[in-house]
């Protein structure tokens, strides 16, 4: 009797916590976005958001950044994971170095890449030292949206590829060695082994990594503020502005629902695209 109740007792605190701080707030945010102070249903806040001149730019920038960063990260992490798996000595050291960015916040990553891209920064110094330029270039000036975008992209790839790498290395560890031995016997090349064994067997890990990365990419915020200021609006930045500077929680909530919507949409898309047929799991 005692032991039948025990698991529920142990789960109770965390379940209650998840209900109060995860499920309930998401209901609350929808309420905020659709219901006025007087309790009437309204689409006024959504209209205000959608007609604001920054909305479209912010939405497009956020999507473009995710599109530019995530596929690159997946490919890079796959390459890094195969390199690590091919190592005999020093594997742990290399893995440690490559996962260092895991501990670095997006704000810190933004500041780190600011050191490189700012007007008196290291990139300008290097280019002048090599004789490419006479005067330092304002890479992050408001007229250079393209280079701001590239700087943010690099900072994001630099910072958040590590998490994909960890997931993929863990996933590769789960693939039975016998498959590769069998492939070896039949004379399959390294590349063939990679495309016919590693990739299909890695699907669940790829799925986890992609969902996680896409969600985080839609949340991009501090890197953008550090490198672009307000020159390159993104959704989270707009949410912060509406909530904190303009003190309009309702429009901020409408924005939040947009982020939530595209996050859920892409999650479902990735789950569908990388589904593993039943019975094909290890």
Partner 1 sequence: MSRITQPADGTVKGHGVWHRYLFTGSIILLCLWVLVPIYLLLVNTFSTPEAVSAFPKKAFPDINTQSVEFFLNYSGVGQALWSSIKVATVTMILSISLGAPAGYALSRFDFTGKETFRVLVLMTRAFPLPLLALPLAVMYIRVGLDDSVLGLALVHTMLALPFAVLITYSLFSGIPVELEEAAWTLGCNRLQAFIKVIFPLVLPGITASAIFAFVISWNEVFAAAVLTIEHRTLPAFLLQGLGNAPLHLKFAGGAVLVLPALVFIFLVRKYLFSMWGIANR
Q: Which of 102, 182, 199, 246 binds partner 1 (CB under 8 A)?
A: 102
> Which structure tokens are listed for 179?
């498959």
Instruction: State which of positions 245-264 bind partner 1 (CB under 8 A).
Output: 249, 252-253, 256, 259-260, 263-264
**Residues 141, 145, 146: CA angle, nearest 5 degrees:** 120
149 or 207: CB nearest partner 1? 207
Q: Give the x-and-dash track for 41-60 against partner 1 (CB under 8 A).
A: --------------------
Find the part of the chain contacting partner 1 (CB under 8 A) among 34-42, 48-56, 57-65, 225-233: 225-233
Query: Does residue number 96 form part of the binding site for partner 1 (CB under 8 A)?
Result: yes
How many whole angstroms separate alpha carbon 188 and alpha carbon 177?
A: 14
Contact at 8 Å (CB) between 168 and 209?
yes
Instruction: State which of positions 169-208 bind partner 1 (CB under 8 A).
Output: 169-171, 173-174, 184, 190, 204-205, 208
Closest to 153 (Cα-Cα) out of 257, 227, 211: 227
Q: Which of 229, 269, 275, 280 binds partner 1 (CB under 8 A)?
A: 229
11 or 280: CB nearest partner 1? 11
Task: Give the shortest CB-23-to-partner 1 separation in angstroms.
Answer: 8
Interacting residues of 55 by C-beta distance below 8 A, sequence separation 6+: 49, 238
Q: Which of 104, 137, 175, 183 binds partner 1 (CB under 8 A)?
A: 104
Query: Does residue number 274 form part of the binding site for partner 1 (CB under 8 A)?
Result: no
Residues forming a β-bridge with 35: 41
What is the length of the chain? 282
Instruction: State which of positions 18-37 bind partner 1 (CB under 8 A).
Output: 18, 21-22, 25-26, 28-29, 32
Q: Rounded to 5 degrees, what are φ and ψ at 41? A: -70, 135
CA dist 99 to 5, 92, 104, 210, Å? 41, 10, 10, 17
Q: Rounded to 5 degrees, what are φ and ψ at 120? A: -100, 25
Find the part of the chain contacting partner 1 (CB under 8 A) among 55-63, 65-73, 88-96, 138-146: 88-96
Contact at 8 Å (CB) between 35 and 22?
no
Task: Give the shortest CB-27-to-partner 1 separation in angstroms.
Answer: 8
Q: Which of 50, 75, 107, 182 binds partner 1 (CB under 8 A)?
A: 107
Contact at 8 Å (CB) between 84 and 91?
yes
Q: Which of 112, 150, 175, 274 binds partner 1 (CB under 8 A)?
A: 112
> Which structure tokens are listed for 6?
């025990």
How many whole angstroms separate alpha carbon 155 and alpha carbon 65?
A: 11
Find the part of the chain contacting partner 1 (CB under 8 A) among 10-18, 42-50, 56-64, 65-73: 10-18
Instruction: State which of positions 114-143 bind partner 1 (CB under 8 A).
Output: 114-116, 118-122, 124-125, 128-129, 136
Query: Does residue number 78 form part of the binding site for partner 1 (CB under 8 A)?
Result: no
């Amino acid at each position: 009797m005692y032991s039948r109740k025990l698991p529920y007792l142990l789960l109770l605190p965390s379940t209650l916590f998840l209900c109060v701080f995860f499920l309930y707030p998401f209901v609350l945010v929808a309420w905020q976005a659709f219901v006025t102070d007087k309790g009437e249903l309204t689409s006024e806040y959504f209209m205000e958001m959608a007609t604001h001149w920054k909305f479209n730019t912010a939405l497009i920038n956020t999507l473009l950044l995710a599109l530019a960063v995530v596929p690159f990260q997946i490919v890079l992490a796959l390459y890094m994971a195969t390199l690590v798996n091919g190592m005999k000595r020093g594997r742990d050291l290399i893995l440690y170095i490559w996962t260092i960015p895991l501990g670095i916040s997006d704000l810190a990553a933004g500041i780190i890449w600011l050191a490189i891209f700012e007007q008196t920064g290291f990139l300008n110094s290097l280019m002048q030292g090599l004789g490419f330029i006479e005067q330092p270039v304002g890479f992050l000036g408001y007229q250079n949206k393209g280079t701001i975008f590239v700087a943010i992209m690099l900072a994001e790839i630099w910072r958040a590829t590590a998490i994909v790498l960890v997931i993929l290395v863990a996933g590769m560890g789960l693939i039975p060695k016998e498959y590769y031995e069998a492939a070896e016997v039949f004379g399959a090349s390294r590349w063939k082994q990679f495309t016919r064994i590693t990739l299909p067997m890695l699907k669940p890990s790829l799925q986890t990594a992609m969902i996680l990365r896409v969600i985080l990419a839609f949340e991009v915020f501090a890197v953008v503020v550090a490198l672009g200021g307000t020159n390159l609006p993104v959704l989270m930045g707009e949410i912060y502005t509406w909530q904190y500077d303009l003190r309009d929680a309702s429009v901020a909530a409408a924005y939040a629902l947009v982020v939530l919507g595209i996050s859920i949409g892409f999650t479902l898309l990735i789950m569908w695209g990388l589904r593993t047929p039943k019975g094909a799991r290890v």
